[in-house]
Amino acid sequence: MTTSTLKQRVLAGERVLGTMALEFFVPALPQLAKVAGAEFVLLDMEHTGISMETLKHLIAGCRGIGVAPVVRVPATEYDFIARVLDIGAHGVMVPMVETREQAEFIVSCTRYPPQGRRGAAFGVAHDDYQGGTPAEKIEAAHRRNLVIIQIETPKGVESAAAIAAIPNVDVLWVGHFDLTNFMGIPGQFDHPDYHAALAKVVGAARANGKGTGFMASDERWGREYLERGFSMIAYGMDSQLYQRTLAQGISALKQR
C-alpha cells in the first residue's frame, strides 16, 4: 500500500498538524513528536545555531516512524535548500519571500533538471541509501519534497497570488510576527490590516490549490487559524511548550 506524502496530503486539502523546534534538538524529539500525534516536525535553522550534522541525525530519527522532517533554512540560497533535501528533509521552508522570481528560484533548487537545478547525489540520505534508477529517484523526490514559502512582509502579501500560481510552490506560510512588524503594527494580531493580509494570503492559496501554514503558540490560536482556512499548523515552539507546562506544574505545587 502506498502511503501519501506530506506534500500530497497538503495539496489534497487535508489538515496536517505538527510542531516546531528551535531549542530541543535531541535524539528523542522525532519519537516524542510522533507519540504526541504530530505528523511533521519543523526544524528551524533561521533563528538557531543548529548544524547540518545535527539536522541529519534528527532527520534520520524521523525515518520510518511516520513523522515528516521539514527544515526552515535561514536564507534563499541554493546551498541551504538543496543540502537539507540531500540529508533527507521531506520539505523546505524559506523565510522572507517577497517576489515571484524569488519563489521560482527556490523551486528550481528543489527540482532536478530539466525542471530545476538541483545537483544529483543518489544512494545517500534522501533516498534512504537504496538502489534504483536515477529516473525513479528523481520521480520520488519530486513527489515528496514540500516547498513552503513564508509570507512575512507587505510586499510578500501583495505577491501572494503570483507566488501561489507557481508550480511546485506547495504552501504559503504566514510569519505573523514579522508580518506585523513590517506592517508597522508589531504584535497587533487583532488589527484589521493584519486580518486583511491573512485573508489575501489564504485567498491566493485557495485559488491556486495550495496549502496555507501557521505556527500556533496555543490551542486558541490553532483553532482560530484552522477556522480562518489554514490547513498546516505547527503547534507551539518547543521552548514555549516546555516553559508553559513547567510553569503550570510549579505554580500548582506552590499553591498547595
| Sole residue written with cell 514555549 | 240
Active site residue 47: yes
152, 127 in Cβ contact below 8 A?
no
Of 153, 149, 215, 216, nearest to 181 by C-alpha is 153
User: What kind and span of H or E run contains 17?
Assistant: strand 16-21
Beta carbons within 10 angstroms of residue 84's beta carbon: 26
11, 170 in Cβ contact below 8 A?
yes
Query: Of 47, 90, 142, 191, which one is the catalytic site residue?
Result: 47
Q: What would you report as the CA-atom Rg of the chain, rounded to the nearest whole angstrom?
A: 18
State how far the Cα of 167 lies from the Cα of 42, in Å rounded to an integer.
22
DSSP 5: P
State how far the Cα of 164 lies from the Cα of 211, in Å rounded to an integer.
9
Of 233, 224, 209, nearest to 13 by C-alpha is 209
113: its cell numbers: 533538471
Beta carbons within 10 angstroms of residue 210's beta carbon: 23
**What residues are annotated to the active site?**
47
